[in-house]
Structure 1
Amino acid sequence: MASEAPSRPEPVSVSVVIPSLRPSEGILRLVGSLELQRFEYLQIVVVDQGPGLESQKLLERYDGPLRSKIEVVASPPGLAKARNAGLRALRDGWDVVLLPDDDVWLDGDVSDSVTQAIREGAAAGSGRLLPEEVDGEHRIDFPDRQIDLTPRNVWRSSIEACYFLTPEFLRGVGGYDESLGLGADTPWQSGEGTDLLLRGLQQGHSVVYVPGYALVEATMPTLSAENSRRRLRNYARGTGRVFARNYSLRGRCTLLIRSLGRLILHVRLGRETFQDNWQILLGRAEGIIGKSL
Structure 2
Amino acid sequence: MKVSLVMSTLGRIDEVLQFIHALQQLDHNDFELIIVDQNADERLQMACSAVSVDFPIHYLRSPHAKGCSRGRNMGVAKASGEILCFPDDDCLYPPSLIRKVLGRFDETGSDIVCGRAAAPDGRSINGRFETSAQPVDLRNVFTTQIEWVVFFRREVFEKLEGFDEDIGVGASTPWQSCEGPDITIRAIHAGFKVYYDPELYAHHPELNTRDPDDAMRAKGRRYARGMGHVIRKHSYGILYLTNYLVRPIGGACLSLLKGNLKRGFYYLNVAMGRAEGYAGVCLDGGRFKKAFNLGSQK
Length-normalised TM-score, structure 1? 0.84
Contact 1:37-1:109 at 8 Å conserved across structures = yes
Within a 5 Å distance, the mapping from 1:249-268 to structure 2 comes to 249-267=238-256
Aligned partners of 1:22, 1:275: CA distance in 2, in Å? 28
Aligned partners of 1:129, 1:260: CA distance in 2, in Å? 24
Within a 5 Å distance, the mapping from 1:226-265 to structure 2 comes to 226-246=214-234, 247-265=236-254
| 1:129 alignment partner in structure 2 | 117
Aligned partners of 1:82, 1:131: CA distance in 2, in Å? 26
Say if 2:273 is the partner of 1:287. no
State the one-letter code of the partner of 1:274.
G
1:148 CA drift (Å) = 1.3
| SS of alignment partner, residue 16 of structure 1 | strand
Deviations 1:207-255 (A, max 9, x none): 1123343212246799962222111111111111011012234323443
| 1:56 alignment partner in structure 2 | 45
Contact 2:101-2:200 at 8 Å conserved across structures = yes
State the one-letter code of the partner of 2:181.
T
Aligned partners of 2:22, 2:255: CA distance in 1, in Å? 41
| SS of alignment partner, residue 141 of structure 2 | coil
Query: Residues 99 and 291 of structure 1: is their aligned pair in 2 closer, same or farther, counting only changes over 3 Å?
Result: same
Gaps of 5+ in 2: 284-298
Computing the radius of gyration from Cα coordinates, the structure with the larger value is 1
- 210-219 or 15-24, larger mean C-alpha shift: 210-219
- 198-207 or 23-32, larger mean C-alpha shift: 23-32
| SS of alignment partner, residue 45 of structure 1 | strand
Query: Residues 292 and 89 of structure 1: is their aligned pair in 2 closer, same or farther, counting only changes over 3 Å?
Result: same
1:136 CA drift (Å) = 8.4
**Aligned to 2:59, which of 58, 72, 80?**
72
| 1:21 alignment partner in structure 2 | 10
Contact 1:98-1:162 at 8 Å conserved across structures = yes
Query: Residues 212 and 61 of structure 1: is their aligned pair in 2 closer, same or farther, counting only changes over 3 Å?
Result: farther
Deviations 1:155-209 (A, max 9, x none): 2221111111112321332111111111111111111111111111121211112
| SS of alignment partner, residue 214 of structure 1 | strand
TM-align CA RMSD? 2.5
- 32-41 or 154-163, larger mean C-alpha shift: 32-41
Gaps of 5+ in 1: 1-11
State the one-letter code of the partner of 1:287.
G
| 2:288 alignment partner in structure 1 | none
Query: Residues 211 and 262 of structure 1: is their aligned pair in 2 closer, same or farther, counting only changes over 3 Å?
Result: closer
Contact 2:224-2:270 at 8 Å conserved across structures = yes
1:257 CA drift (Å) = 4.4
Length-normalised TM-score, structure 2? 0.83
Query: Residues 87 and 61 of structure 1: is their aligned pair in 2 closer, same or farther, counting only changes over 3 Å?
Result: same
Within a 5 Å distance, the mapping from 1:185-204 to structure 2 comes to 185-204=172-191
| SS of alignment partner, residue 234 of structure 1 | helix
